Structure 1
Amino acid sequence: MHKRFQFILVVGLLVSQVAAAQELRATVSVIANQVQGVDRKVFVTLQNSIKEFLNNRHWAKDAFTPAERIECSFLLNITGTGGTGDTYKASLTVQATRPVYNSSYATSILNIQDNNVAFRYVEYQQLEFNDTRVAGNDPMAANLTAILAYYVNIILGLDYDSFAPRGGDEYFKRALNIVNNAPEGKDISGWKAFEGNRNRYWLQDNLLNAKFLQFHDVMYQYHRQGLDVMYEDVNKGRAAVLNCVNMLYSIHQSIPNSMLMQVFFSAKANELQKLFAKAMPQEKSRAAELLAQMDIPNAQKYQQMK
């Protein structure tokens, strides 16, 4: 039985008639306010094509029921055109959530912006992706689907990690396969280690690097032993989350300023502040001290918890 099926059956969210469904419930928005001289219908069809690509394709090995589908959003902000016809430059913001046991609350598992998106799209062109031929026949056209598929696998990996110890490894490896076989071209970037320290290469590298092994324990304990038990014992759940903060601090001391930690706090900063706002003074002070050191952009927010 698929682990998400087990979870949602327990919390009473499973629909009565079980039927196989795709894994994502993705909302897609394509914004092109900065682009001039292009028929706006192109971006409408692109938005519909991406939505169909994400929602109508089987991505995981397990069969998901409709109630299990992962809520996520993809915002493609097209900032300009490329050097040739039908090519575009854009940023992509990807967000995903996971339900919390016995509540209506959904916790963020991913909130990331990728500013290195370049692609070719011709109106009504079918979006295609093949794990064995990631680069396809046209690298610029394939770059869009490769990026989308990469983030789908990151979402699946993080989701699986949050339900089972090391549950996401298979999907992080699929993301690695996309990185290793990614399209190449002068206008394509984000797939190589030397192109920066905050890109698609480094995220999957961190997720599969043995130095970050403890991060996967954090993902499981934070969600299953922390958030998921808060409905019956808030203090017990919060204590588990504080233990996760300690584990993250251990990672931070060994590997400061990693992309993986930045991605984690981008998803969790607001939640962590709220979780510890009503904690006992000692817990609150400890959490604020460690979080401020690890997540400098939100340090002031954490310090206000004291």
Structure 2
Amino acid sequence: MKKSYPSILFLLFLMASFSVGYAQELNCQVNVESIQIESTERRVFEEMEVEFAKFLNDRKWAEERFENDERISCGINITLESQPSIGNFQATVQVVAARPVYNSTYEAVLINFADRDFNFEYTESQPLDFQPNTFLSNITSMLGFYAYMILANDYDSFENLGGQQYYEAAWQVVNNAQQSGFAGWDQFNSVRNRYWWAQNSIDQVMEPMREVTYEYHLKGLDLMAEDPETARTNILEALKKVQAVNRAKPRSIMIISFLDAKMDEIVSIFSQGNLAERREVYDILKALEPAKTEEFKKILEN
């Protein structure tokens, strides 16, 4: 199995190299790219990296106690695109989270999500306050939203539907921000924003996608070292569920996010093993993502 994926290699490197210094649930590296911003005061961008990481890593987001080696590896890469006024930033962000695979040194990507509406206000030495039931600022609401979504996906990967309370917490953050006027929180301007990702996560029609997270990881990847044939069979069954959900809600954000995180990994997993299964996986992926058909042919080459 491949150890990394070109589209997210940078963030995975940051996650792996980040020193352990916190005792909460997340082990998150924040990177702020500010090359497009014309400013002589660069300290604020360095401060963003430090303070956003502290906000995510120092705060307790879950009820359970996490040991240091249980903390969730994640990374947030913020690209500042413009500064319309002092302290006001238009940006995009890539959020990545991973979980360890049993009996291996491999970490599987759980989330690889691009947010095109990551716009916020921040000035030097600004306190980062957050309340789960109140909208205080767009930056803390966005960071809090991603903390909950990272936890929810991680819990779902170890226990069937185990992340429910954290999906509900993320949905509450969305509801709090509905009247803020900031982009990304409403259902009208995009089908690939925070609103729809959270809505998909609590939609009963999409619940099989959450079951896929459990079956793919715990019944698939975690078995790969000791029983690769059974692991591949279980992953194939999970992919059939993805296909069924896609028929009900074509190209929903939860399906797109799953494919963004898993496509390279699936190609690697099924580049060996039973040829009949490989052909079935190829057909499923080709139907889900026709534009990547040439890439999927690697599954059939061996």
Query: TM-score with structure 1 length normalisation?
Result: 0.89
SS of 2:117's equivalent?
strand
1:144-293 to structure 2, matched below 5 A, reads 144-182=139-177, 184-186=179-181, 188-293=182-287
Matched letter for residue 169 of structure 2: R
SS of 1:64's equivalent?
coil
In 1, Cα distance between the equivalents of 2:200 and 2:48? 32
Residue 22 of structure 1 contacts residue 64 of structure 1 at CA under 8 Å; is this kept in 2? yes
In 2, Cα distance between the equivalents of 1:183 and 1:213? 24
In 2, Cα distance between the equivalents of 1:123 and 1:57? 20
Aligned to 2:67: 65
Residue 24 of structure 1 contacts residue 72 of structure 1 at CA under 8 Å; is this kept in 2? yes
Aligned to 1:106: 107
Find the partner of 1:74 among 58, 73, 76: 76
Aligned to 2:5: none
The alignment covers a number of residue pairs equal to 279
In 2, Cα distance between the equivalents of 1:294 and 1:279? 22
SS of 2:166's equivalent?
helix
CA distance 1:297–1:225, change in 2 (3 Å): same
Cα deviations by residue, 1:14-58 (Å, 9 ceiling, x for unpaired): xxxxxx920011111111000003410110111110011011010
Provide the identity percentage.
32
Aligned to 1:96: 97
Residue 143 of structure 1 contacts residue 183 of structure 1 at CA under 8 Å; is this kept in 2? no
SS of 1:78's equivalent?
strand
- Gaps (5+ residues) in structure 1? 1-19, 137-141
Matched letter for residue 173 of structure 1: E
- Gaps (5+ residues) in structure 2? 1-21
Task: Give 1:233 shift.
Answer: 0.6
In 2, Cα distance between the equivalents of 1:38 and 1:65? 41
Task: Give 1:291 shift.
Answer: 0.9
1:30-45 to structure 2, matched below 5 A, reads 30-45=32-47
Matched letter for residue 159 of structure 1: D
In 2, Cα distance between the equivalents of 1:272 and 1:241? 9
In 1, Cα distance between the equivalents of 2:78 and 2:127? 17
Aligned to 1:129: 130
Task: Give 1:184 shift.
Answer: 4.1
Aligned-pair RMSD on alpha carbons? Answer: 1.3
In 2, Cα distance between the equivalents of 1:304 and 1:230? 20
In 2, Cα distance between the equivalents of 1:267 and 1:44? 28
Task: Give 1:185 shift.
Answer: 4.7
In 2, Cα distance between the equivalents of 1:43 and 1:274? 38
Task: Give 1:216 shift.
Answer: 1.6
